[in-house]
Amino acid sequence: MGAAHADEPTLWDHSRAKAFTFKDPRTSITFYVESDGQHVAAIDGQGKLLWVRSPLKEHGPFETRIPVIDGIEVPEAPPPQYVKWLQRLGFMEDHPHIRITFAFRMFGIMDETTGDFILEGQN
């Protein structure tokens, strides 16, 4: 892979990466985004570490330029047709999910039980 052009955005920018937490009020699971902006840890209400995942790194193929996580939220329930599409990608409808957003407008859903991630798209 060649050098990035001056006008090409740097997707993994240290200045954009920051540690932050999000607590899902439905499940009392706290999600900790590590300071590298790429790893998410799930911690239950008793402080037990459930899993640590790197959603886009595991999803690949991004080589070394991976966008950093910049937000987590509780998503709205998806419509039935969308659920069917998600299920083909491994979505478990009976598990709680969070939506993760990344710098440069990428987004996806993460299974709170397993940490599995589905990249939904970019807008």
Specify the CATH architecture of the domain 20-122. Beta Barrel (2.40)
Mean pLDDT is lowest, of 3-7, 17-21, 53-57, 119-123, for: 3-7
Find out whether 12 and 37 touch, Cβ atoms under 8 Å: yes
Q: CA 36, 58, 121, 24 torsion: positive or negative?
A: negative
Residue ranges with strand state E in the chain: 20-23, 30-33, 40-43, 49-53, 69-73, 97-102, 106-111, 117-122
pLDDT band at 43 (very low <50, low <70, confident <90, very high): very high
pLDDT of 78:
87
Which of 79, 34, 105 is CA-nearest to residue 42? 34
pLDDT of 66:
74
pLDDT higher than threshold 60 for residue 6: no
Task: Please report, for residues 1, 14, 31, 105, 123, the alpha-carbon distance to residue 10 in angstroms, rounded to integers and kept in the order given.
Answer: 14, 10, 25, 13, 17
pLDDT of 64:
57
pLDDT of 3:
40
The whole-angstrom separation of Cα 114 and Cα 55 is 12
pTM summary value: 0.82
How far from the centroid of its chain's Cα atoms is residue 10's Cα?
A: 19
pLDDT of 105:
83
Instruction: Give pLDDT tens digits for 54-107.
Output: 998 877 665 556 789 999 999 998 899 998 989 988 889 899 999 999 987 889
pLDDT of 8:
41
